[in-house]
């Protein structure tokens, strides 16, 4: 069974002059990212405001578990969409590696669950859920981008910079919309504050991943604050 801690130990012992094969490194990277995604999901899951908005203590245990699973799978899919984003400012040779990491993420999460003793039949369900949400949010991403462009175009705000901002925010906004929808079982009316909390937390996770991937700093927080303010007005009538 794949053990991330053991793999990191072996990697350290090999030293910088004896690198692992690229597929093996991709597997280790995916494992580390998966653990980060699960930790961020748990942080929001334990958030007092989040639980109050959902009247969490009155929910049955199976529903509480379902909500946690949606948070985890949303963070995983956000990673996958980010790793394949065409606007990532990275050297060309890294793009292929990031795609390998993206493909390893579902396996990494199933390996993590297996290490907790989860039965194989449930691992198969998880693999299907991750792939289903990935396909769903990738499709939604195109629709959301079109709506955002149409709205900005009508206001006369569709500039090159505006397009770049839409593209930058697209992964986190798309996944936050989908996560909010599934957590609420489609009954999202009157739950704008819950959406903003999900978007804020996912935005922090997104920044924590994207900035290191690009090897520098991006002016994200200002754009995210503006995005949160205008996002609901732009999309809530469409989704």
Residuewise pLDDT in 10s, the chain (239 residues): 567 777 767 777 777 777 778 888 899 999 999 999 999 999 999 999 999 999 999 999 999 999 999 999 999 999 999 999 988 888 888 899 999 999 999 999 999 999 999 999 899 999 999 999 999 999 998 888 777 776 666 666 656 666 666 677 889 999 999 999 999 999 999 999 999 999 999 999 998 898 888 876 545 444 444 444 444 444 444 44
DSSP codes, 38-107: HHHHHHHHT-HHHHHHHTGGGS-HHHHHHHHHHHHHHHHHHHHHHHT-TT----HHHHHHHHHHHHHHHH
Query: Alpha-carbon distance 81 to 61, whole Å?
Result: 30
pLDDT confidence of residue 159: 65
Domain that holds residue 222: 4-235
Based on the number of CB atoms within 10 Å of its own CB, is 131 exposed (0-12), middle (13-18) or buried (19 or more)?
middle
Number of domains present in the structure of the chain: 1
């Amino acid at each position: 069974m794949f053990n991330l801690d053991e793999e990191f130990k072996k990697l350290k012992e090999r030293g910088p002059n004896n690198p692992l094969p690229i597929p093996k490194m991709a597997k280790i990277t995916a494992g580390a990212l998966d653990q980060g995604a699960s930790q961020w999901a748990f942080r929001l899951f334990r958030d007092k405001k989040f639980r109050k908005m959902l009247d969490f203590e009155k929910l049955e245990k199976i529903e509480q578990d379902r909500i946690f699973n949606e948070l985890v799978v949303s963070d995983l899919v956000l990673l996958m969409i980010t790793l394949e984003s065409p606007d990532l400012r990275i050297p060309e040779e890294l793009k292929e590696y990031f795609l390998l990491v993206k493909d390893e993420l579902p396996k990494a999460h199933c390996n993590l669950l297996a290490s907790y003793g989860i039965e194989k039949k449930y691992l198969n369900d998880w693999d299907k859920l991750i792939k289903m949400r990935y396909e769903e949010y990738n499709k939604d991403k195109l629709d959301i981008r079109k709506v955002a462009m149409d709205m900005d175009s009508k206001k006369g705000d569709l500039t090159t910079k505006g397009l770049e901002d839409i593209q930058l925010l697209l992964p986190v906004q798309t996944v936050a919309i989908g996560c909010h929808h599934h957590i609420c079982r489609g009954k999202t009316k009157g739950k704008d504050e819950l959406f903003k909390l999900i978007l804020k937390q996912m935005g922090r996770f997104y920044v924590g991943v994207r900035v290191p991937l690009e090897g520098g700093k991006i002016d994200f927080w200002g754009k995210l604050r503006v995005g949160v303010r205008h996002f609901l007005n732009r999309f809530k009538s469409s989704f």
